[in-house]
A = this chain, B = another copy of it.
Amino acid sequence: MKRNIGPVNALYPSLTTIVGAVVDGKPNFLAVAHVGIMNHGHPQYLSFGINKKHHTNQGIVEHGEFSVCIPGEGLMVETDYVGLVSGRNTDKSQVFDLFKGELAHAPLIQGCPVCMECRLARVVDFETHDVFIGEIVATHVEESVLREDGKVDIKRVRPLLFDMASAKYWSLGAELAPCWSVGKQLKAARRG
Protein backbone atom coordinates (compact mmCIF):
# COMPACT_ATOMS: atom_id res chain seq x y z
CA MET A 1 0.00 0.00 0.00
CA LYS A 2 1.41 3.36 -1.00
CA ARG A 3 0.95 6.82 0.47
CA ASN A 4 1.26 10.06 -1.51
CA ILE A 5 3.58 12.20 0.61
CA GLY A 6 3.45 15.18 -1.76
CA PRO A 7 6.10 16.46 -4.17
CA VAL A 8 9.03 15.29 -2.07
CA ASN A 9 12.45 14.74 -3.60
CA ALA A 10 13.35 11.14 -2.80
CA LEU A 11 16.29 10.80 -5.18
CA TYR A 12 18.62 9.66 -2.41
CA PRO A 13 21.24 8.73 -1.48
CA SER A 14 23.27 11.16 -3.51
CA LEU A 15 27.01 11.46 -3.57
CA THR A 16 28.57 14.00 -1.22
CA THR A 17 31.15 16.14 -2.98
CA ILE A 18 33.19 19.21 -2.18
CA VAL A 19 32.89 21.89 -4.84
CA GLY A 20 35.83 24.25 -5.04
CA ALA A 21 36.19 27.60 -6.75
CA VAL A 22 38.26 30.74 -6.51
CA VAL A 23 36.22 33.54 -4.98
CA ASP A 24 37.69 37.00 -4.38
CA GLY A 25 41.12 35.59 -5.18
CA LYS A 26 40.91 32.78 -2.62
CA PRO A 27 40.05 29.09 -2.86
CA ASN A 28 36.65 28.41 -1.36
CA PHE A 29 34.90 25.10 -0.75
CA LEU A 30 31.36 23.94 -0.24
CA ALA A 31 29.83 20.54 0.53
CA VAL A 32 27.38 19.67 -2.25
CA ALA A 33 25.38 16.47 -2.61
CA HIS A 34 22.86 17.79 -5.10
CA VAL A 35 24.90 16.68 -8.05
CA GLY A 36 23.99 15.17 -11.40
CA ILE A 37 25.40 13.19 -14.27
CA MET A 38 24.32 14.67 -17.59
CA ASN A 39 25.57 12.15 -20.11
CA HIS A 40 27.99 9.36 -20.81
CA GLY A 41 30.60 10.27 -23.37
CA HIS A 42 33.21 12.79 -24.40
CA PRO A 43 32.90 15.60 -23.58
CA GLN A 44 31.57 14.43 -20.24
CA TYR A 45 29.30 16.76 -18.28
CA LEU A 46 28.22 16.84 -14.65
CA SER A 47 26.08 19.26 -12.72
CA PHE A 48 25.44 20.57 -9.26
CA GLY A 49 22.71 22.85 -8.03
CA ILE A 50 23.21 25.37 -5.26
CA ASN A 51 21.22 28.26 -3.90
CA LYS A 52 21.96 31.56 -5.62
CA LYS A 53 22.84 33.05 -2.24
CA HIS A 54 26.00 30.97 -1.94
CA HIS A 55 29.31 32.79 -1.90
CA THR A 56 30.81 30.29 -4.35
CA ASN A 57 28.52 31.10 -7.29
CA GLN A 58 30.16 34.37 -8.24
CA GLY A 59 33.62 32.78 -8.35
CA ILE A 60 32.44 30.04 -10.68
CA VAL A 61 30.79 32.47 -13.06
CA GLU A 62 33.75 34.87 -12.95
CA HIS A 63 36.40 32.29 -13.81
CA GLY A 64 34.31 29.69 -15.63
CA GLU A 65 36.08 26.94 -13.72
CA PHE A 66 35.47 24.84 -10.63
CA SER A 67 36.46 21.56 -9.02
CA VAL A 68 34.40 18.64 -7.75
CA CYS A 69 36.29 16.52 -5.23
CA ILE A 70 35.01 13.32 -3.67
CA PRO A 71 35.86 12.97 0.02
CA GLY A 72 36.15 9.58 1.67
CA GLU A 73 34.80 8.69 5.10
CA GLY A 74 38.03 9.90 6.67
CA LEU A 75 37.27 13.47 5.59
CA MET A 76 33.69 13.53 6.92
CA VAL A 77 34.23 16.16 9.59
CA GLU A 78 35.96 18.59 7.23
CA THR A 79 33.35 17.95 4.54
CA ASP A 80 30.51 18.66 6.91
CA TYR A 81 32.31 21.74 8.16
CA VAL A 82 32.58 23.35 4.71
CA GLY A 83 28.84 22.81 4.39
CA LEU A 84 28.17 24.50 7.74
CA VAL A 85 29.96 27.80 7.31
CA SER A 86 29.81 30.33 4.49
CA GLY A 87 32.84 31.63 2.65
CA ARG A 88 31.27 35.06 2.97
CA ASN A 89 32.35 35.32 6.60
CA THR A 90 34.78 32.40 7.00
CA ASP A 91 38.04 31.83 5.17
CA LYS A 92 37.93 28.17 4.13
CA SER A 93 41.07 28.33 2.00
CA GLN A 94 43.20 26.73 4.75
CA VAL A 95 40.94 23.80 5.64
CA PHE A 96 42.53 21.45 3.12
CA ASP A 97 45.95 20.85 1.60
CA LEU A 98 45.53 21.82 -2.03
CA PHE A 99 47.10 21.06 -5.37
CA LYS A 100 46.72 22.38 -8.90
CA GLY A 101 45.79 20.51 -12.00
CA GLU A 102 45.33 21.93 -15.49
CA LEU A 103 42.99 24.80 -14.69
CA ALA A 104 44.00 27.94 -12.84
CA HIS A 105 40.76 28.34 -10.88
CA ALA A 106 39.81 24.82 -9.88
CA PRO A 107 41.43 24.25 -6.46
CA LEU A 108 41.92 20.53 -5.77
CA ILE A 109 41.99 18.81 -2.40
CA GLN A 110 44.89 16.47 -1.60
CA GLY A 111 42.88 14.62 1.05
CA CYS A 112 40.15 13.62 -1.41
CA PRO A 113 40.86 10.37 -3.24
CA VAL A 114 39.16 11.65 -6.40
CA CYS A 115 39.24 15.21 -7.76
CA MET A 116 37.69 16.43 -10.99
CA GLU A 117 38.52 19.73 -12.68
CA CYS A 118 35.67 21.27 -14.63
CA ARG A 119 35.19 24.05 -17.13
CA LEU A 120 31.82 25.74 -16.78
CA ALA A 121 29.71 24.79 -19.79
CA ARG A 122 26.24 26.10 -18.96
CA VAL A 123 24.25 27.57 -16.13
CA VAL A 124 20.64 26.46 -15.86
CA ASP A 125 18.79 29.22 -14.10
CA PHE A 126 16.10 28.33 -11.55
CA GLU A 127 14.24 30.76 -9.31
CA THR A 128 16.34 30.14 -6.21
CA HIS A 129 19.13 27.95 -7.56
CA ASP A 130 21.90 27.99 -10.12
CA VAL A 131 22.58 24.65 -11.71
CA PHE A 132 26.16 24.70 -12.93
CA ILE A 133 27.00 22.26 -15.67
CA GLY A 134 30.69 21.58 -16.08
CA GLU A 135 32.73 19.73 -18.64
CA ILE A 136 35.24 17.45 -16.93
CA VAL A 137 38.75 18.45 -18.01
CA ALA A 138 40.82 16.09 -15.87
CA THR A 139 40.29 13.58 -13.08
CA HIS A 140 43.00 13.13 -10.48
CA VAL A 141 42.88 9.91 -8.51
CA GLU A 142 44.93 8.76 -5.54
CA GLU A 143 47.04 5.77 -6.59
CA SER A 144 45.83 3.84 -3.56
CA VAL A 145 42.22 3.82 -4.87
CA LEU A 146 43.11 2.90 -8.46
CA ARG A 147 42.62 -0.63 -9.65
CA GLU A 148 45.22 -2.32 -11.80
CA ASP A 149 43.28 -1.39 -14.94
CA GLY A 150 43.52 2.31 -14.03
CA LYS A 151 39.89 2.70 -13.02
CA VAL A 152 38.62 4.03 -9.71
CA ASP A 153 37.95 1.38 -7.07
CA ILE A 154 34.82 2.79 -5.47
CA LYS A 155 35.06 0.51 -2.45
CA ARG A 156 38.43 1.98 -1.56
CA VAL A 157 37.17 5.56 -2.09
CA ARG A 158 34.68 5.00 0.77
CA PRO A 159 32.37 7.77 -0.46
CA LEU A 160 29.99 9.65 1.82
CA LEU A 161 26.42 9.14 0.69
CA PHE A 162 23.93 11.82 1.63
CA ASP A 163 20.27 11.35 2.53
CA MET A 164 18.03 14.34 3.13
CA ALA A 165 15.24 12.52 5.00
CA SER A 166 17.53 11.18 7.70
CA ALA A 167 19.95 14.13 7.39
CA LYS A 168 22.78 11.65 7.64
CA TYR A 169 25.86 10.49 5.83
CA TRP A 170 25.82 6.83 4.88
CA SER A 171 28.55 4.49 3.76
CA LEU A 172 28.70 2.39 0.64
CA GLY A 173 27.71 -1.23 1.24
CA ALA A 174 28.59 -4.44 -0.54
CA GLU A 175 28.63 -5.09 -4.25
CA LEU A 176 25.52 -6.91 -5.39
CA ALA A 177 25.76 -7.96 -9.02
CA PRO A 178 27.06 -6.91 -12.44
CA CYS A 179 25.02 -4.37 -14.42
CA TRP A 180 23.83 -5.18 -17.95
CA SER A 181 24.17 -8.80 -16.93
CA VAL A 182 22.05 -9.84 -13.97
CA GLY A 183 18.91 -9.10 -16.02
CA LYS A 184 19.89 -11.44 -18.83
CA GLN A 185 18.12 -14.35 -17.15
CA LEU A 186 14.84 -12.43 -17.44
CA LYS A 187 15.62 -11.48 -21.02
CA ALA A 188 16.06 -15.15 -21.88
CA ALA A 189 12.93 -16.16 -19.94
CA ARG A 190 10.72 -13.52 -21.58
CA ARG A 191 11.91 -14.56 -25.02
CA GLY A 192 10.75 -18.02 -24.06
List chain A positions with a Cβ less than 8 A from chain B: 1-15, 17, 33-47, 49, 51, 68, 70, 73, 76-85, 90, 95, 99, 101, 110, 114-116, 122, 124, 126, 128-129, 131, 133, 135-143, 146-147, 150-154, 159-187, 190
Contact = CB atoms under 8 A, between A and B. Distances in A.
Contacts of A179: 80, 83, 162, 167-169
Contacts of A79: 183
Contact of A39 (B84, B115, B131): B131
Nearest to A36: B36
Contacts of A154: 12-13, 163, 165-166, 170
21 contacts: A2-B140, A7-B43, A7-B138, A8-B152, A9-B40, A12-B159, A13-B15, A34-B40, A36-B37, A38-B129, A38-B131, A39-B49, A80-B177, A151-B166, A160-B176, A161-B172, A162-B179, A167-B181, A168-B178, A171-B173, A173-B173
Nearest to A108: B2
A117 B188 CA distance: 31
A118 B84 CA distance: 31
B137 A5 contact: no
